[in-house]
Structure 1
């Protein structure tokens, strides 16, 4: 199974910039999208179906034009779970999961920490999300979490590591979390 994750920074803008041509050329079985910034009813879903993704699931933030995640698939999943059941996470449309046989695939969009309030929110989210995933793995041991973590694991993962070394996403506490999470 070929799975790809892509932060589109607005699905409608991505479509205008050739996203669908790219999608057809790369042809993954499952695509996890983050930062879709649109509600399902704002999209022409036939475009995705014509690209080979008959099964597409959208989980938008309650705030219009903000965050949101999606999963596009060539095959029908056995189940789709919208959100985590943790209200403050689900309000921002940051997690969607599709189950395919023994494999669970999650598209996740971790908050950024653009100011101290959002950084505190991000750190709380990370702790709660880790606990959620640890519980989920008990029933779904083959869980694959893809997405935009808004964290740079290594300096090569950011466009300006020297200038951004002290900002959220590049802080040691966040890098430690991602290191533990991906191992």
Structure 2
């Protein structure tokens, strides 16, 4: 075992190969399954690379690797379930369908009322669908038109719906779906 730890320390230089994976996560204040998968795969890679051949054949090492893999998987699947991450495809497809169905010549503004509760920040529109520039890019790719995209608080929805304008499409966002208020 002491030669095992020496072997692991001698392989720390391999960490430089994983820097490109970690750079994408710098500065993000939210959970991503990749945060746990990349370090876990790196650790398993390091363990396998560091062990002498005689130790690789022992049952203890295989059991440890399986336990580490299962433990990492449990944490990742717990977070994926907590974020309802497997349901994110529905609103993403829904916004694409809404944008595809929109008439381009009359649309000047797309207003989205964000009606998510503050404690549900993990499923905010910015994380599930994207920022206004992303939605504008999707609109551009479909229609070659750049309308103004406004993501507004839910409190403005009632006031804004009362003043219907034909050039404005209004949507309500409440995970996991959009509701079309005007079209």
Q: TM-score, normalised by structure 1?
A: 0.24
Higher-helix-fraction structure: 2
Please tell me whether Structure 1 or Structure 2 has the larger radius of gyration of its CA atoms.
2
Q: Which has the higher contact order (CA 8 A, sep 6+)?
A: 2
Higher-strand-fraction structure: 1
Q: TM-score, normalised by structure 2?
A: 0.24
